[in-house]
Amino acid sequence: MAELLNAASDTNLAEESRQREHRAAVQIQSWFRGCKVRAYLSHLHTKAVIIQKIWRGFTARSRFRQMVKAAYFIMKMNFYEEMAVRIQRRWRGFFVRKYVHNFYARKSYLEGISMKNEEVRRELAELEELQKRERSCLQMVKQQRVKVFQAHRLHHLISTKQCPGVFNSPFRPAPHEMELLLRQVKYQAPTRLTPRDKTFLLGTPGPTAPSFPETRGSPWIKTTSPSCSSRLILPPIASKKPQVR
């Protein structure tokens, strides 16, 4: 009986020992398998990271190449456009300067205008000088006619051998200009008489002043008044032969 109890206790101890060893073996196997699986998963993770890194680098480099190609194409197009603009600008400038607004033609045109302007100004200056001379000549002729008219009216004041005239003073070293003019002018009988109701300055011909052959009427007023023309014109007074000095 005791042997049976000892055998049973030994069997129980052996079973317990076997179970304990089994649990230990299972635990060791589970730990080993876990380490193995974790190592494999770590290896797979590392390889996946490497694959992703390579793929992402490849795709990034591809996109970068495309961006570089696009930027280079845009840069070339901008360069070509700038060169085309420069060529067009040079050509248009040359065309406009040669055919539209020729610089040398415009320069020669302006030089011709300046020369023509100087010529016209010179001609105008000559014309102005000529007009001044004509006016001065007309003024001199007018003054001479007035003097001749005065000489005709004052011919009775000429000097004679017996009596010197008003303009030939013995105290003067030379005769007066009017005296010389009186000597040159011959006395002419007037065709009309001056009305008594009108008086004029000495030497200034009036509208009804007598006209002389050498003076061709009055140098101041060419027409006569109609009131004076209706008056009776008296015949000329028979004058004696003037005394000759």
Cα dist from 204 to 33, 193, 196, 210, whole Å: 158, 15, 16, 12
Task: Answer for the pair 228, 208: CB distance below 8 angstroms, yes or no.
Answer: yes
CA within 13 Å, CB half, 104? 3
Q: What is the pTM of this model?
A: 0.36
Residues 148-200: tens digit of each pLDDT: 888 877 777 777 777 777 777 777 778 777 888 877 877 666 665 555 444 44
Residues 94-112: tens digit of each pLDDT: 898 888 888 888 888 899 9
Q: Is the pLDDT of residue 244 over 60?
A: no
Q: Which residue has the higher pLDDT, 103 or 244?
A: 103
Q: Is the pLDDT of residue 2 over 80?
A: no
Backbone angles phi and psi of 120, in degrees to 5: -65, -40
Residues 108 and 162 in one domain: no
Given pLDDT bands bounded at 50, 70 and 90, which one contains residue 11? confident
In a domain? residue 169: yes
Residues 75 and 118 in one domain: no
In a domain? residue 114: yes
Q: Is the pLDDT of residue 113 over 50?
A: yes
Residues 179 and 111 in one domain: no
Residues 160 and 126 in one domain: no
Q: For residue 182, what pLDDT is reported?
A: 79
In a domain? residue 209: no
Residues 123 and 181 in one domain: no
Total of domains in the chain: 3
Q: For residue 238, what pLDDT is reported?
A: 54
In a domain? residue 19: no
Residues 96 and 113 in one domain: no
In a domain? residue 204: no
> Residue 78: exposed, middle, or buried by beta-carbon count in 10 A (0-12, 13-18, 19+)?
exposed
Task: Answer for the pair 230, 208: CB distance below 8 angstroms, yes or no.
Answer: no
Residues 92 and 39 in one domain: yes
Sequence-ordered list of residues with C-beta below 8 angstroms from that of 129, at least 6 positions apart, any chain: none
In a domain? residue 51: yes
Residues 87 and 50 in one domain: yes
Residues 87 and 118 in one domain: no
Q: Which domain holds residue 57?
A: 24-101
The tokens of 137 are what?
């000549």
Residues 42-95: tens digit of each pLDDT: 999 999 999 999 999 999 999 999 999 999 999 999 999 999 999 999 999 989
Q: Mind spelling out the 3-state secondary structure of 164-176?
A: CCCCCCCCCCCCC
How confident is the prediction for the chain on average, in pLDDT?
79
